[in-house]
Structure 1
Amino acid sequence: MFEKTKEVTLPQGTISPWPSNLAACWLDTRNITYVAVIQANNVHIGHWDNKAETEVTWETIQTSEPASSSDKLVDVTTIGLVHPNARNFPIAIVGSTRHIHVYDVKKVSQKPLFSLTLASTLRDYAPSIGKDVGPYSRGVSCNDNAILIGTHTGEIVVIMCNGDSNFTSRKNLKEHKSAVTDIATCRYDEITVSADSTGELIIWQKPVKGVNSRVLTKQPINVINVLRKQVIVGTLRGLVQYYSVTTGDLMCEINAHSRPVNSVSVAPESAYVMTSSEDGTFIVSKLHTRKPHAYQVEYRFSDSDPYSIIMGAQFTNGRGSAIAVATFDSSEIIMYKIIKKSSAAAASS
């Protein structure tokens, strides 16, 4: 089904070991796909033309502390590419142990469009879980023009996009009692879900102001995504679960991986779901929820390299016909594509 097409080399360095360390965003109207990956204190942002199948063009953002701190470098802990309705092009959300920065992906500059310090925006910036978990940002999503970033305290930072270069901060969401592990939004249904380290899912009311419902999974959640009113949960134990947004019921459970699930990607047009793991495997499935057919998660494709640790795998278009995979300590991103065999080749095989 899928075949490996090429390996794309990063501008410098290797891929860092953060969950969901590969973000993707595509613009169907312009045939452009953007990807972003963390490399230590740098973020590499690449883009290409899907129709012309051009080579990947890279830009690098170097994050550092203000000059008063002697330009001390800090680790980036989360990266997200989101497309608020108020903008023509996506933006990159870069979260670290101290800051949240907003960057323009079309005109990449070392100067962010907007910045917040965690110390100033969080109620309790200091380590809060047994005093052994340092500050960090993790999980990025966007609902309409509200950009959401999870933090170690359980608070979700809200940044409003009011135009191409106009951003303001809004009151934090404080419903989680433990560290946020991921946030995801279904752009079509405007359903936003967040998850925390205790295994609780919060399904937010539209437009992300209050809690609609809570689901206690009793699982160590690492990553999530939302597709067709289903929340797909990837756990630290390698388990993949599907929960109904409407009822909160567990609809399906798959022992998909032998190590932590590090990313869940969805393709809305085809209802494909892809999970990837530290075990070096990514799996593509198709989600069937349309009645009168039975609820089903149908296996479609997988690939595995036991010597690699996948930190992120993302569909690079809405159809789910192309994939990018990022592995720890690698200087390359591996690209896959659905290759249609000719009738003669299919007959001979």
Structure 2
Amino acid sequence: MFEKVKEVALPQGTVSPWPSNLAVCWLDTRNITYVAVIQSNNIHIGSWDNKAETEVTWETIQTSEPVSITEKIIDVTSVGLVHPNARNFPIVIVGSTRFIHVYDAKKVTQKPLFSIALGVALRDYVPAVGKDVGPYCRGVTCNDNAVLVGTHTGEIVVIMCNGDSNFSSRKNLKEHRCAITDIATCRYDEITVSADSNGELIIWQKPVKGVNSRVITKQHINVINVLRKQVIVGTLRGIVQYYSVTTGDLMCEINAHSRPVNSVSVAPESAYVLTSSEDGTFIVSKLHTRKPHAYQVEYRFSDSDPSNVIMGAQFTNGRGSAIAIAAFDSNVLVMYKIIKKTAVPAT
């Protein structure tokens, strides 16, 4: 089904060991796919033309923050590529231990379009003495024009996109009581779901203001995604679960991986689901939810390299016919594609 077609070298360095360390955004109307990956404290942003199958061109954001006379490197913990409705092209969201930065994905410069200090965004947060953990950002998504970034406190920072270069901060979402592990949105149904380290899922109302429902998974959630009103959960134990957005019921559970699941990607046009893990394996499945057929998660393809610790695997188009893989300490992205076999004429 899928075959490895090429390896794309990063401009410099190797992939950092952060879960979901490969963000993808595709523009069907322009046949362009964007990818972003964390390399140390740099963000490499690649793009290519899907129709013409051009080579990947790279731009690099070097994240640094001036501190008095010296310049101190920040600790990047999360990257996201999102496309607010108010913009023609995607934006890159970079979350660190101290800041959230917004960059233009098309015209990459070292100066962000918008920045907010984590301490300012979490101004009401009071750390518990002896129990606090280091600050960080984790989980990035976008619903309409609201960009959501998860934090270590459980608060979700809301940044509104009001135009190509006009951004403003809004009141944080404060429904979680422990660290956010991931946030995801289905653009077609405008369903946004967030997950925390206590195993709770919050399904948000439209638009993202109030809570629609809560689901207690009793799992150590690492990553999530949303497809066809299903929340797909990847856990630290390697389990992949499917929950109904409508009822909150657990619809399917698969012992898919032997190590933590580090990414869940979905292809809306084909209902393909891609999960990847630290065990070096990625798995492609097809989700069947259409009645009168029974609910089913059908295995389609997998590949494994035990020497690779996969930090991110993403479909690079809406059909799910192409995949990019990012592995820890690797200096390349590995590309897979569905290759149609030509029929051999009978003799």
User: What TM-score bracket applies, with the shorter chain setting the length?
Assistant: over 0.9
Check if 1:93 corresponds to 2:93.
yes
Residues 276-315 of structure 1 aligned to structure 2 (within 5 Å):
276-315=276-315
- CA distance in structure 2 between the aligned counterparts of 1:91 and 1:208, rounded to whole angstroms: 19
- CA distance in structure 1 between the aligned counterparts of 2:138 and 2:129, rounded to whole angstroms: 16
1:218-257: CA deviation from partner (whole Å, max 9, x where unpaired): 0000000000000000000000000000000000000000
Q: For residues 118 and 307 of structure 1, do their structure 2 counterparts lie closer, same or farther at Cα, with a shift above 3 Å needed?
A: same
Q: For residues 25 and 220 of structure 1, do their structure 2 counterparts lie closer, same or farther at Cα, with a shift above 3 Å needed?
A: same
Check if 1:63 corresponds to 2:52.
no
Q: 1:66: Cα distance to partner?
A: 2.5
- TM-score by length of structure 2 reads 0.98
Q: What letter is aligned with 1:148?
A: L
- CA distance in structure 1 between the aligned counterparts of 2:112 and 2:202, rounded to whole angstroms: 30
Partner of 2:332: 332
- CA distance in structure 2 between the aligned counterparts of 1:203 and 1:134, rounded to whole angstroms: 27
Q: What letter is aligned with 1:105?
A: A
Kindly, what percent of the aligned residue pairs are identical?
84
Q: 1:69: Cα distance to partner?
A: 6.5
Q: 1:185: Cα distance to partner?
A: 0.2
Partner of 2:3: 3
Q: How many pairs does the alignment contain?
A: 347
- CA distance in structure 2 between the aligned counterparts of 1:167 and 1:208, rounded to whole angstroms: 17
Q: Is the 8 A contact 1:126 1:134 kept in 2?
A: no
Residues 168-317 of structure 1 aligned to structure 2 (within 5 Å):
168-317=168-317
Q: For residues 69 and 261 of structure 1, do their structure 2 counterparts lie closer, same or farther at Cα, with a shift above 3 Å needed?
A: farther
1:36-71: CA deviation from partner (whole Å, max 9, x where unpaired): 000011000000000000000000001111242621
Q: Is the 8 A contact 1:118 1:125 kept in 2?
A: no
- CA distance in structure 1 between the aligned counterparts of 2:127 and 2:305, rounded to whole angstroms: 36
Partner of 2:46: 46
Q: Is the 8 A contact 1:5 1:337 kept in 2?
A: yes
Q: What letter is aligned with 1:37?
A: V
Partner of 2:72: 72
Q: Secondary structure of 1:65's match?
A: strand
- CA distance in structure 1 between the aligned counterparts of 2:129 and 2:335, rounded to whole angstroms: 39
Q: What letter is aligned with 2:339?
A: I
Q: What letter is aligned with 1:10?
A: L
Q: 1:123: Cα distance to partner?
A: 3.6
Gaps (5+ residues) in structure 1?
A: none
Q: Is the 8 A contact 1:200 1:218 kept in 2?
A: yes
- CA distance in structure 2 between the aligned counterparts of 1:59 and 1:45, rounded to whole angstroms: 5
- CA distance in structure 2 between the aligned counterparts of 1:125 and 1:344, rounded to whole angstroms: 66
- CA distance in structure 1 between the aligned counterparts of 2:191 and 2:16, rounded to whole angstroms: 30
- CA distance in structure 2 between the aligned counterparts of 1:216 and 1:289, rounded to whole angstroms: 22
Residues 96-111 of structure 1 aligned to structure 2 (within 5 Å):
96-111=96-111
Q: For residues 196 and 69 of structure 1, do their structure 2 counterparts lie closer, same or farther at Cα, with a shift above 3 Å needed?
A: farther
Tell me which stretches of 4 or more aligned residues in structure 1 moved more than 4 Å. Answer: 124-130
Gaps (5+ residues) in structure 2?
A: none
1:149-204: CA deviation from partner (whole Å, max 9, x where unpaired): 00000000000000000000000000000000000000000000000000000000
